[in-house]
Structures are given as C-alpha cells and as structure tokens.
Amino acid sequence: MTSRLFRKIAAVSWLAAAYRTLRWGLKLLPILILMDVGYLIGIWPDWAAYEAGTVPRSQFILAYELEQSRHEGWRTLRWRPVSMDKIPACMVRAVIVAEDARFYAHNGVDIDALKAAMEYNLSEKKLLLGGSTISQQTVKNLFLDSSRNPLRKWHELVLTLGMEHAISKKRILELYLNVAEFGRGIYGVDAAARFYWGIPASRLSNRQCIELAATLPSPVRNNPGTRTRSFNNRTRKIRRYF
C-alpha cells in the first residue's frame, strides 16, 4: 500500500512539473518567436545586390578558407565565378536532372520531393535524402551552414521563398553553379572544369557536365577524380536523360 502511494505521489509530482514546464514554455514562446524574427531581419539579404553582378563568396567558401589554414594537406581554394553565358546548356540540364527536376515549376520548395524523401528515409530508417531544391541549396550555401537542426531548416525555407520572389530562376542557377562544391576546396563549375580537365567551363562536353552533376551530393568522396562506384552509378542515371 505504501509503495503504491509513493508511486501515485511521484506521478502527480511529475505531472505538476511537466505542467509548470509547459506553462513557462508557452510564456517564452512569443519571446522566442520575436527573437527569431529579429534574427531573420538582421540577416535578411539585400536581394537587389544578388539579382545581378558579381557572384559573392558563399558562407561555405568563407568557412573553407578558415578551415584550410588549420588543416595541413587541404588544397588552396579554387573558385572562379563566371557569368551564365560562360556555362554550357548541358551543365544546366545535368544539374536540374540530378538535383531538382521540377526546378522551373516550384516556388523554391518542392513538396512532392520532400514527401518522397521522407518516405524513403522512413523506409530505410536513416536520414539519406533531403529533398532540397536548387533554390534551397543556393540559400544554404550563400547564407547558412551545413547543420541539420530544425531552426536552420526554417531559416532556409524563409530565405528561399524570399529569394524566389526577388530573383529570377536564371540568376538562381547562376549563383548555384558558381558556389556549389565539386570537390574539397573546389567551388563553382569553372574551377571544377579547370581542376579536373584543365579547361574553362565554356568548353565542357556533355559527358563532363554529367560527371560534375553526379559529384554534387557528396563532392569530397564522389567526384571525377575518385570515380567511386556511387559516382559511376549516379553518372549513368543522369546520362539516361541526355
């Protein structure tokens, strides 16, 4: 009888503590929301500055420059931003096929791709696919970091919708193709073309464009230099659409 009483008292105490925590959480929620809105206002880009002109250094490029000085053996940053007219149509096609087939149809977020990625991850019981669009990846590269926490994903979503409203699809592709990573320390298609084949991006062949697109999910491990099984399989899948 005594042990049952103690269990009841413990259960009541736990419920009371949970209630107090929830009550304080609800009181703090508006403050946290206001703080997050303030953070977004603070980092909100001047989209007019990104709509045209020189492609800026991304957060990933800045982070690499910082880390490269700490890691002996990491290659010097390779990055040569070029205008869209220097990037062949096959490169654009290959990236859309590989990364975001409905790029021209969505407003920055592909709900169908997110659902498919979620279903696949649940079936495999692993976080294997993200379902991010080219627009989301562009925002992540330019303004955020590689963390997977929900708050970062929320910021990515808001910034993506803002970018899609302010910048053309063509410019988003131009930004992405100039800041995407194609190997350790290799950013943008022109730097990648020069590193792997010694040519500018404008001279890339269909095969080379496909291979660069196949690099994107895990560029340090799978690229035209390593030619892993995963890289070769992905290359074959993309080639079916050419």
What pLDDT, in 10s, does the model give residues 200-232? 999 999 999 999 999 998 999 999 999 999 999
List pLDDT tens digits, range 100-140: 999 999 998 887 766 665 554 454 444 444 579 999 999 99
The structural domains of the chain, with segments of one domain joined by +, span: 1-43, 51-239
- Sign, CA dihedral 118-238-64-178, equals negative
> Can you name the CATH fold of 51-239?
Penicillin binding protein transpeptidase fold (1.10.3810)
**How is residue 17 written in tokens?**
């503590």
Q: How far apart are the C-alpha atoms of 90 and 118, rounded to whole Å?
A: 30
Q: Is the pLDDT of residue 88 over 90?
A: yes
Q: What is the pLDDT averaged over residues 50-78?
A: 91
DSSP state of 146: S
Q: Is the pLDDT of residue 91 over 50?
A: yes
Residue 123: the pLDDT is 45
Residue 65's pLDDT band, with cuts at 50, 70 and 90, is: very high
List pLDDT tens digits, range 17-26: 565 666 665 6
Picking from 30-44, 56-70, 149-163, 169-183, which range would have the lowest pLDDT averaged per residue? 30-44
**How is residue 138 written in tokens?**
């562009």
Q: Is the pTM of this model over 0.85?
A: no
Q: Is the pLDDT of residue 76 over 60?
A: yes
Mean pLDDT of the chain: 86
Q: How far apart are the C-alpha atoms of 145 and 231, rounded to whole Å?
A: 24
Residue 111: the pLDDT is 79
Q: What is the pLDDT averaged over residues 52-60?
A: 94
Q: How far apart are the C-alpha atoms of 63 and 231, rounded to whole Å?
A: 25
Q: What is the pLDDT averaged over residues 187-205?
A: 98
